[in-house]
Amino acid sequence: MNIEQPPVNRERIIPTGERRGLILVHTGNGKGKSTAAFGLALRAHGRGKAVRIYQFMKVPSARFGEHRVFETLGIPIEGLGDGFSWKSKDLEHSAQLARDGWERARATIEAGEHFLVVLDEIMYPLRYGWLPLEPVLETLRQRPPHVHVVLTGRNAPQELIDLADTVTEMGQVKHHFTAGVPAQRGIED
Amino acid sequence: MNIEQPPVNRERIIPTGERRGLILVHTGNGKGKSTAAFGLALRAHGRGKAVRIYQFMKVPSARFGEHRVFETLGIPIEGLGDGFSWKSKDLEHSAQLARDGWERARATIEAGEHFLVVLDEIMYPLRYGWLPLEPVLETLRQRPPHVHVVLTGRNAPQELIDLADTVTEMGQVKHHFTAGVPAQRGIED
């Protein structure tokens, strides 16, 4: 895309009324960042659009409820991580997986064959420094203009918020975990 | 359920570690309230759970992306409204539809045959006074304890927030509409 950069805060010129791919960010400490991305994937699939989901913090073998349904529907959903936890000893391995995963996601975005690409929990590897931010921003800026990309996770970098078309902050008003109610299968996973 | 009421702000006593149905509220002015509810429905369905969705502000004939997929999956999704808009002349008709719709949703919740019941955009009829709040709260309090209920829409009443287990406020940080980018089929509907 050869598009001039405006002086303030918007990285692309947006003609009024344009139909084109969007950059959507779901961030904040509350619930619903990933599930809303899954809902968008569902909606786009229902419109006959090609969708692909990459999950930066899930293992490839993850079989949560959403994986089972997406498999049924034929929506590719791919875990790129190694089940990283705060007690992980081999963070360099986690970092390498994130970089390898990003290369796959980047190739999908650039190929332009998908209407919607979900980068679920990409904020983690960005925040940990496993993925440098600038190449991710550059891929988003230079992507085929019809491709929508949804990026989820807490603490979205300001540069990504500046670039995005739509940013939603999912704020936690209250959460059942803090009342001693554990994760509920079918709701949390 | 014969459960005592604690003195402050919680309408039920919650033993630590309990597995039971939750009241989840998605509110706020941002995107993702309904799509996150759809994502939860998808996840629960993927776990083999019975799910049912009622949409208070959609017409029964709505055929957005999500309706098409839910139909494929065999998840009932039912529009209860009449395509109400700010220019509607017959608000009493809209109000009556909301009350009729609520009776159907209430019966489903009380029957206890569903793991998850979604009451999408129920905040509108509550806010407009079409549905009185107290009977809705009472149904939620008295429901079979395994039933999860998700309620969506802006401006959730405080009494509902007090009753809920988990409340997420979807806040709008930025939105492509305000930049002149129109609704995108497959993303917005």
Profile chain A (189 residues) by mean pLDDT over runs of 10 residues: 39 55 96 97 96 95 93 95 72 91 98 98 94 97 97 97 96 86 87
Beta-carbon separation of B31 and A35 below 8 A: no
Pair type for strands A51-55 and A116-120: parallel
**Domain annotation for chain A: domains and CATH numbers:** 23-170 (3.40.50.300)
B170 and B32 Cβ atoms separated by less than 8 Å = yes
- Between CA A31 and CA B126 the distance in angstroms is 23
Beta-carbon separation of A35 and B46 below 8 A: no
Q: For position A67, what pLDDT does the model report? A: 94
Residues of A in contact with B158 (CB under 8 A): none
Residue ranges for chain B with pLDDT beneath 70: 1-18, 84-88
Beta-carbon separation of B18 and A180 below 8 A: yes
Beta-carbon separation of A180 and B66 below 8 A: no
Residues of B in contact with A14 (CB under 8 A): 176, 179-181
Q: For position B10, what pLDDT does the model report? A: 38
- Between CA B67 and CA B64 the distance in angstroms is 5
Q: For position B184, what pLDDT does the model report? A: 87
In B, minimum Cα distance to A10 occurs at: B179
CA B88 to chain A, closest CA, distance in angstroms equals: 26
- Between CA B121 and CA B78 the distance in angstroms is 12
Q: Which amino acid type is present at position B167?
A: V
In A, minimum Cα distance to B29 occurs at: A168
CA-closest candidate to residue A46, choices B121, B35, B33: B35
Which strand (E) or helix (H) includes residue B38?
helix B33-46
Coil, strand or helix at B166: strand
Residues of B in contact with A47 (CB under 8 A): 65, 68, 185-186
B46 and B121 Cβ atoms separated by less than 8 Å = no
Residues of B in contact with A182 (CB under 8 A): 17-19
Main-chain phi, psi angles of B76, to 5 degrees = -70, 130
CA-closest candidate to residue A112, choices A149, A137, A77: A149
Beta-carbon separation of A40 and B187 below 8 A: yes
Q: For position A92, what pLDDT does the model report? A: 86
A186 and B47 Cβ atoms separated by less than 8 Å = yes
Beta-carbon separation of A66 and B47 below 8 A: no
Residues of B in contact with A43 (CB under 8 A): 35, 38, 64-66, 69, 186-187, 189
Count of CB contacts below 8 A, A vs B?
Answer: 233
For chain A, first and last CA: distance in Å? Answer: 39
Residues of A in contact with B171 (CB under 8 A): 28, 168-171
